[in-house]
Structure 1
Amino acid sequence: MPYDLVPGTFVAREQERKQVLGAVLARKGAAVVGPAGVGRTALLTAVTAQLGVARFEVVWTAATEASRQVPFGVFRGLLGVGGRLDHGQAYGLLRTELARRAGRRTPVLVIDDVHHLDDASAALTLSLAGDGNLRLVVSAQSGLPASDAVVALWKDSYLERFDIAPFGLADTGRLVHALMEGAAARPTVDLLHQWTGGNPLFLTELVRHGRATRRLVSAGGLWWWRGPLSVPPRLAELFERELRGLDPRHQDALGAVALGEPLSLPVLEAVAPDVVESLEEQGLLCTVEIGGQILVRLDQPMLGAALRHRLPRLRRRRLAAALLDACTPSGPDPVTRARWQLDAHGPVDSALLIRAAETVCRQDPELACRFARRALERSSAAAVPLAHALVELGDTAQARKVLERTREAATTPSGRLRLATALAAHRCWADRDPAGAADELVALRAEATAPSAQAALDGVHALVLLFGGRTGAAARLAERVLHEASHGPGVAAARLALAASLALTGRTADAATLAEDPSPDRALPSYLPDLAPSLRAFAQLWPASDLRRPIGRRAVHGLPPGGEGALLGGYLQWVRGLRTDAMARLREAVVQQAGGPRLFLTEASSWLAICLAEEQRPDCAEQAIAPCWANRVAVVPGQVHRAAAVIAAARGDTAGAAVSMRAAVDAAREAGCWAVEAEYLTYAAWLGPAGPPPAVLDRLAEVVRHVDAPRLVTSAEAVLALARGAGTELLDHAVRLDALGLSTQAWRLAERAAATLQQQGGSRRGDAVVLVGRLRERLGVAPPPAQPVALTTREVEIASLAAGGLSDRAISHRLAVSVRTVESHLTRIYRKLGVHSRRDLPPVLRG
């Protein structure tokens, strides 16, 4: 069975299968063309499996390099005779054999890999293509030479040509899902697609290899790839055949590219001259021009992994040294140059290795450890990125030991202070003790005699206060740092702390402005990896005026690899009411936040629990937040209590939900987080079946005056309108919420508006019903059971026909009444239902 015909895995080629099958059934035949491994044979197998055995007899043959050496070699098994044959004899024998096998059915001749046909076989195939008594189906590999007769098959329209491309990202995900019998996390799908280029053969082999070697592991209900790229044995053999016979110069060129792709053409030619053009013609290298510079890379990412694995130690050492000599100071990125320094086994630049370790720590902590350990031989500054990499690997105890040993051995006050500050940060995020970390930082201030050292210490202190739930204190300290200093790591940390604090406290416009400036990122301490883009996007959540659009200049999806993109994207989807997508992203976020510094683990777990509870899965939701009760690190205060409230509400425990919600509100109020408190109070207002409690409304009216975030203000004002009970006002607020992308809140309010307008006899009830219907459809909410409508039997009949799109005249013909009668009935129907036209009838009749 072909590799991608495992049950369920061929769905990604369904459209191509239908098209090729249609060409065969239409008496034309088909040629399937595509690169190696793209699934040409599998597609032909799927197509021919759909040809009914009562009508067709399918005969397979495949051309190979060996069959190419013999005239009519691909057909020898069908011709039944040896020796020399001319074209006419071979044609007659082959037609006779096909007719014998088919009987009264139509023969279908399938020739795989026609690019391997010898000239005689190609000419015979072209003759068969013109025979109207059989169907011809062939496959060919693109990019390889083929005889004129083969090209004529589709060039002269004997066969319909179908070009099969590698899978896109979505189809890659579907194939991985089918092979794993479960969904893979989005970062894993992205990684597999990047490594394989969407090639189905490579994908299938890599996934199977990942399962066998346990690089693919299950966590949070999703499959994740752990570790670097590893080449499956079957593909390694394939690459070995491609590389066999290359002379040393060609091997040097490929090895050099594998060690540092993309390489500039001058650097590669300095290492391996006069071979690049030849390797490009063979399809092993490809070039691209960017900014006036020609860059060279391997045609297939997995080939690079295979080359690096097979590269002998001495050749690797020689090539790395040559690459270092050939590149300029502004040459490849720090990570590539750091790799070369390690491979060359010569002198190292500790500053370069430290930068490289900081860069790759999140994505490849094992490599970061290698860089940092080598740098630590020459510089104590490498202890910090080494500790960070060890935390990413889950070894927090060893990370602390590295920092403590290096601090004890430090010979300068500034070095000891820097390492002590890193130890305090370690206590906050690795040991999950922000209060203890804050105390350590206060004690360390006596050792910070220089203003720049004090600013650096206070900047980290502000971030620790922020993650310890002391938002107001974090904002005050950050403002003091920014008032007293203009640059340096303390300023960068303070700006981030202040941006997040301002967003939480309700000054969201100022927060967005502050967060939009990425300039201080490089000045951040190295033990705060990826914090800048994470907090920047976080600070931009509340001021968003339309959640259907990207947030700010750096959208959530532009975050670095890690859990923050999934976390914030999931939160946005939840706010919009798209819980299914929100849960998928938040599950990824929980797994990603469970390792390393776990910056937003509480938020990820709490938001996932809220989604699960709203989907009426309170037990799963409770499991999601169980670890968070003991977790003292959180940016958003009261999140766990808020999740507990939603869980209680899902179980019908309104009193318990109110108690937990009060605890969440109190936590936000104590931290000075007006924006968070407004969000909590808005949710609390919907808990009681009798409407918002007066105390909640009074507090919400006060809180919202301190908040400038459009969506929070609009949501709060909508809740305050509930107390006034005016149907038209409720509908106006529902429309505003819908315009902001707040579909769930808009739907709830529109439902109230429709019910209120029906009781009050408002003229806009039809508008409310139409909005309710549209929002239900968007959210996937089933309409309630149909209620009797105060229409006569004839009115119901006419309303149904009008809702189905019939004109007044068509209805009059259908019911044998006059057009005027139909118009009179419709006027009464519109008045009774509170709508304005027949376009408004479908949702009203359904609801």
Structure 2
Amino acid sequence: MARSWPFAGRAAQLTEIRSAVRGVVVVGPPGVGKSRLVAQAVHEAEGVAWVRATAAAAELPLGAFAALLPSTPPAGNPLGWAADAVRAPVLVVDDAHLLDAASAALVHHLVTRGRTKVIATLRTETPAPDAVQALWKDDLLPRMELGPLTAQESAAILERALGGGVERSAVTRLWQASRGNALYLRELVLSGVLAEVGGVWRWRGPLAITPSLRDTIAGRIGDLTPDEREVLEFLAYGEPLGADLLSALAASAAVERLEDRQLVTVDVEGRRLQVRLAHPLYGEVIRRGCGTLRARKLLRRLADTVTETGLRRREDVLRVAVWRLDSGAAADPALLLAACDRARMVRDLDLAERLARAAAAAGGGLPAAMALGTVLFYADRYTESEEVFAAAWKLEMDDNSRTNCGVSRAFNLFWGLGQVERAMALIEESERSVTLLHARQGARGTRASLEAFTGDLDRATATLRSAMTMSPFTEPRNVRAFGTTEATLLAVKGSAAESLRVVARTEAVLDSVPHALPSLRAALLEAATQAALHLGDLDEAERYADQGRGLDGEFGAWARAVVEFGAHKARVLRLRGRVADALAACREAAVRLPPRGVWAGLCLGELAQAHALLGEVAAAEEALARAEAIGLPIGPPVVVPVEHARLWTLAARGDVAGAVAAALDLAERALPVQVPFLLHDVVRLGRPSLVAARITGEGPLVALFARHAAATTGAELDAVSLEFERLGLILYAAEAAAHAARCHRDKGMTRTARAAQTRAWALSRRCQGARTPALLDLDVPDLTPRQREVALLAAQGLTNREIAERLVVSIRTVANTLYAVYEKTGVSDRTALTDLLG
């Protein structure tokens, strides 16, 4: 961790303070970072004097300025004497709301006199002396309202402070807990709530606060009457609470007083008024002040009161169940199971497990066992999940329950433990053991989805077709599941456009379900991402990947979503040429891998390939070794990414021939959706003649791959490069431009070769250090500092005369310099130069 807490963001505010001629008043809540912002703004300024106002100094006239004034005041005008004594060109007045009247008048006098730039900070909604208020009311100084840090600013600060990447869910939790308050954010990090795993900082909870932060918050809360404390206690355990509900629990007058003191907020949500604590960390302090017996009493009252309202809101079931558990009240299995389902849907898997176990202990029977087994599966605890499902399988159950249990257990065996044959056998047993047609139909459709993942597409297609013809779709679950399986099969077969049409149709069905069904949605988004990539639509592919990554929920507990879609996001970034960003995305995903798992191959394959493209051979081989050790190679979706990375590791090691042979071999074993990319790799590695006749398929990207393979002239390769760039595939565009340069050079076309090579160089600069064989021998255009300066000005649209005037040289000198630039870069006019230099 950095020794001093770093500064990040606030660029616009920094500029405003630095550019203010007379000064500025910075206003914001406590801890938002006012003083740090001002300190950063004046860091490099000369002659800065600081005045830090305090309540103690306010007892004395000019007390805050004591350090800047001579020890003996004059007999005459004390204000003029004090103003003359403050000779600093810049004066910073921190916490100006605490100034005594004389000090405030001095600040006002310094501003009106205009010799000193005054920068003052004060708290929002805190009374300030009249002379300070006059600074902005009389338009003497602008008033800057400083809000909390954004999530992005918080992330930047955390990465600089910790010296490494911070998991997205951890950033979200810290930002929500701190509400963007810079002081609170720092103290939360110092509490040790984060831990470094694999180079990524992760939340290790539960939330903790340091003693200094606790004291700070307690001071902000201040003294409370008994009825005010009761209101805060109910909110600490139950927020948000409806205003009417809270009035039934505590005194309304106390709520009003707390709102006036800005300790609670009241927001309009639809037709309801919702009351919350003004800051989530207030709840931590309030709860720490409650004893066990009082806390249980509060929880029971909350549960009873909300239950009396009829549990009208979806989250009421979850809240009431948790309150009853925590209060030690008798458990209702039905309530606990409904709450468990809700907790699983929002991906709070720790809470879902706790509720499922409580339901089982309360006599929940088969439904409780099914809930527990499912939660353990989502939590990557596959062996425990199998134990629960195996015990449940022996119980008496109806056809629907038998199918649900069989499918859930098969999913765990297949996706969790990699036991393909056992999973398939269990699905077949499930189908044989039931008589209801829709139950048998559901089991058979599930088998099709598993067969598709193993790469047996013909069998999967036949199985799905037979399931769909067993009977009309009457069971909504089968409609959703079959649509997802159909979209997946179409995607992996390379029928991308048709797959996306099925995705859209199935999404509409999923959206009609009260619960979002994250597992089915994940499978559907997986198909959509694959299809969009096959079509070369990187924007859509990234959108689908981001949606999938968001399925882990607010608490970031569902590792599959993080790993699977983190890898897909990394692939999109890699294709965009953002190789270092792809590496960072994979690292964050990789820390969530279980000790053994199916998705390790997809994630670690992308990680290894990013390392290989950056020339980091040892790191790539380490990732490949880890993939071999912990991956479950049950199908091409997770096998091919590893082998794909292996061939690029060979190339990074210098064995291009071995990489080409590996790509050709892998293309024979890959899914149809994977084949065009593998064959195009052969083109990228410089052997287009080996695959020119083999790259086929639908969509503009596959057609462009074929054009790249078939191109025989520099002009054709130039056109291919431009089209790759238009699609956003910057790495491919750079490589095609490098191929064009070699082709031009072989034909003796020196100038066009230089232009293509310069373009390849410019594109490669956007690829964050990628070092593929096509890019290794690129020469950086050898521009002198003066040539670069003239080139940049010309690219901005300045005429030769304007450049000459700015650089104080002759127009002839500018013209000669530009001619040399054109010769070195291979371009011939300002428009081309602008494109080259971006």
Short-chain TM bin: 0.7 to 0.9
2:180 alignment partner, SS class? coil
Look up the equivalent residue of 2:460 and give its one-letter code. A
Q: Mean alpha-carbon deviation: is it higher for 131-140 or for 426-435?
A: 131-140
**2:317 matched to 1:316?**
no
Aligned-partner residue type, residue 739 of structure 1: R
| Cα distance change of structure 1 residues 90 and 412 upon mapping to structure 2, 3 Å threshold | farther
Tell whether 2:714 aligns with 1:714: no
Name the aligned partner's letter for residue 692 of structure 1.
P
The structural deviation recorded for 1:666 is 2.6
- The aligned residue for residue 277 of structure 1 is 256
- The alignment status of 1:9 with 2:11, answered yes or no, reads no
Query: Residue 203 in 1 paired to residue 185 in 2?
Result: yes
Q: Say if 2:344 is the partner of 1:367.
A: no
- Superposed, 1:169-318 pairs within 5 Å as 169-209=151-191, 211=192, 215-272=193-250, 274=252, 275-311=254-290, 312-318=295-301
Stretches of structure 1 lacking an aligned partner (at least 5 in a row): 790-797
| Separation of aligned partners in 2, 1:737 and 1:76 | 64
Task: Tell me the residue number matched to 1:533.
Answer: 522
Once residues 576 and 699 of structure 1 are traced to their aligned partners in structure 2, the CA distance between those partners, rounded to angstroms, is: 25
Report the alpha carbon displacement of residue 504 of structure 1 after superposing the two structures with TM. Answer: 1.0
Conservation of the 8 A alpha-carbon contact between 1:21 and 1:47: yes
For 1:738, the equivalent position in structure 2 comes to: 725
Give the share of equivalent positions with the same residue, in percent.
Answer: 27
The verdict on how the C-alpha distance between 1:475 and 1:520 changes in structure 2, with shifts beyond 3 A counting, is farther
Q: Deviations over 1:456-494 (max 9, x none)?
A: 322332333334343443343234333435134344333
Take 2:76 and 2:296, find their aligned partners in 1: how far apart are those partners? 55
Shift in CA distance, 329/542, structure 1 to aligned 2, threshold 3 Å:
same
Secondary structure of the residue aligned to 2:393 is helix
> In the TM superposition, what is the alpha-carbon distance from 1:421 to its structure 2 partner?
3.2
Instruction: Indicate whether 1:653 and 2:649 are aligned.
Output: no
Q: CA deviation at 1:108?
A: 6.6
CA deviation map 1:666-720 (0-9, x unaligned)? 321xxxx222122212213333x4x2353x33433xxx2xx324323322x1243
Q: 1:556 corresponds to which residue?
A: 546
Q: 1:316 to 1:692 in 2, by over 3 A?
A: same
Asked if 1:390 is matched to 2:390, the reply is: no
Please state whether the residue corresponding to 1:253 is helix, strand or coil.
Answer: helix
**Deviates most, 767-776 or 741-750:** 767-776
Distance 2:825 2:111 in 1: 66
> Per-residue deviation at 1:248?
4.2
Alpha-carbon distance in structure 2 between the residues aligned to 1:120 and 1:799: 58
Distance 1:124 1:320, change over 3 A: farther
Residue 371 and residue 686 in structure 1: after superposition, are their counterparts in 2 closer, same or farther (change >3 A)? Answer: same
Q: Which residue matches 2:632?
A: 631
Which moves more between the two structures, 377-386 or 526-535? 526-535
User: 1:295 aligns to what SS in structure 2?
Assistant: strand
CA gap 1:109/1:92 in 2 versus in 1, 3 angstroms? farther
Counterpart secondary structure, 1:699: coil
- 1:639-690 deviation per Cα after TM superposition (whole angstroms, max 9, x unaligned): 222211111111112343244324422321xxxx222122212213333x4x
Residue matched to 1:680: 678
Counterpart-to-counterpart distance in 2, 1:403 and 1:628: 28
Q: Is 1:605 equivalent to 2:604 in the alignment?
A: yes
Partner of 2:666: 664
SS at match of 1:10: coil
Partner of 2:532: helix, strand, or coil?
Answer: coil
Question: 1:62: which partner in 2?
Answer: 53
In 2, the alpha carbon distance for the partners of 1:298 and 1:407 equals: 47
The structure-2 alpha-carbon separation of the partners of 1:617 and 1:50, relative to structure 1 and needing over 3 Å to count, comes to: closer
Q: What is the TM-score of this pair, normalised by structure 1?
A: 0.81
2:424 maps to 1:438: yes
Deviations along 1:583-611, one digit per CA (max 9) or x if unpaired, are 1112112223447x956332111111111
The one-letter code of the counterpart of 2:743 is: T
Instruction: Output the CA distance in 1 between the equivalents of 2:756 and 2:369.
Output: 63
Q: What whole-Å deviation, never above 9, does each CA across 1:218-252 have from its counterpart, x for those lacking one? A: 12311111234333333333333344433344334
Q: Distance in 1 between the 2:415 and 2:516 partners?
A: 10
- Aligned amino acid, residue 318 of structure 2: V
**Whole-Å Cα distance in 2 between the matches of residues 139 and 811 of structure 1?**
43
Give 3-state SS (helix, strand or coil) of 1:543's partner: helix
2:787 aligned partner:
none
Deviation at 1:806, TM superposition (A): 7.9
What CA distance in whole angstroms lies between the structure 2 residues aligned with 1:751 and 1:788? 17
Q: Which letter maps to 2:459?
A: A
Q: After TM superposition, give the deviation of residue 282 of structure 1 in Å.
A: 1.7
Aligned pair 1:840/2:825, yes or no? no
Secondary structure class of the residue paired with 2:592? helix
SS state at 2:202 partner: strand
Against the structure 1 CA distance between its residues 543 and 841, is the aligned structure 2 distance closer, same or farther, given a 3 Å change threshold? closer
Unpaired segments of 5 or more residues in structure 2? 553-560, 770-774, 784-789
The 5 A counterparts of 1:577-592 are 577-592=577-592
Could you give the per-residue CA deviations for residues 377-409 of structure 1, whole angstroms, max 9, x where no partner exists? 324222233234335555443333322333334
Distance across 1 between alignment mates of 2:34 and 2:258:
26
- Kindly report which structure 2 residues correspond to 1:80-91, keeping only aligned pairs within 5 A, or say none: none
**Equivalent of 1:749, from 722, 725, 736?**
736
Matching of residues 412-811 of structure 1 within 5 Å: 412=398, 414-484=400-470, 485-486=472-473, 487-516=475-504, 517-521=506-510, 530-543=519-532, 545=535, 547-551=537-541, 556-557=546-547, 559-561=550-552, 562-563=561-562, 564-594=564-594, 598=597, 600-629=599-628, 630-634=631-635, 636=637, 637-668=639-670, 673-687=671-685, 689=686, 691-694=687-690, 696-700=691-695, 704=696, 707-715=697-705, 717-722=706-711, 725-757=712-744, 759-760=746-747, 772=760, 775-779=763-767, 784-785=778-779
Aligned-pair Cα RMSD in Å: 4.6
